[in-house]
Structure 1
Amino acid sequence: MIAIEHKAHCVLAAVAGEFSLKDYREFEDNVLYELKFHGRPNLLFDLTEMLGYTLDVVWEEIRFSRAHRSDFGRIAVVTTDQWTTWATWVAQLFVDSDVQIFSSAVEAERWLLEAPATA
């Protein structure tokens, strides 16, 4: 399950349970909306409640990131899981964004909101 919020030129997504392809596509739609109407969004993924993900999510994330390589501002990933941290560092190879890992969603959101909006 995914919960998505738009705030100050950011797309904030929190995943609970299994992260499915349907969830990821909902996230994509929200990011594309923000991109179309407000320019390059900052992104937050809170994965602290994620229990797992399907393989098709990984492939879709790579495809989406490559197709939109320069379309994101800052990207914050909230996790305490070492494998998710490692996967995040690998994924940053596909985007031209400042990607940071956080253990706190509050800190991650603060970091995103301090970034100037870019068009």
Structure 2
Amino acid sequence: MISIQKTSYGLKVVLHNDFTLKDFNQLEEALLSAINQKLQPDLLLDLSQMKDFTIDMALEHLRFLRQHAHDIGRTAIVVEDIWIRLGARFANLLTLQHPKYFSEIEPAQRWLEQNAQTTTVIGNNH
């Protein structure tokens, strides 16, 4: 199951239990919408409640990240399970993404919000 929320920095995505192709299709739609509304939206991806993922979803995830590698800004990944963390790191190596990993959601959210405020301040001065 997936929960997607628009934020000041882009999207906050929380995955619960199994991450399926249907969930990924919802995420892909939300990301494409965010990309169309904001130049390089940031992404908070909370995997701390995710238990497993399907292979078809993983393949679509890799395809999407390769296509949109330069369309997404900073990515914060919240993950506690060592195997899911290793899988996420491996997938990011294949797509040239460089996310920042967190063990709790609050510091991840602060990191992205701070970046969004800095970007806004810099943007207003030029």
- Tell me the TM-score normalised to structure 2 length: 0.86
Q: Name segments (4+ residues, structure 1) moved above 4 Å.
A: none
Partner of 2:54: 54
Partners of 1:68 and 1:74 lie apart in 2 by: 13
What root-mean-square deviation, in Å, do the aligned CA atoms of Structure 1 and Structure 2 show?
A: 1.7
Greater Cα shift, 10-19 or 87-96:
87-96
User: Which structure is larger by alpha-carbon Rg, 1 or 2?
Assistant: 2
- Residue-by-residue CA offset, 1:30-73 (whole Å, 9 max, x unaligned): 11101001111111111111111111111011000000011111
- Paired letter, 1:34: A
* 3-state DSSP of counterpart to 1:115: helix
Give the gaps of 5 or more residues in structure 1: none
Higher helix share: 2
Segments of 5+ residues of structure 2 without an aligned counterpart are 121-126
| Residue matched to 1:30 | 30
Q: Relative to total residues, which structure has the larger strand share, 1 or 2?
A: 1
Deviations 1:7-48 (A, max 9, x none): 003211001111111101101111110100111111111111
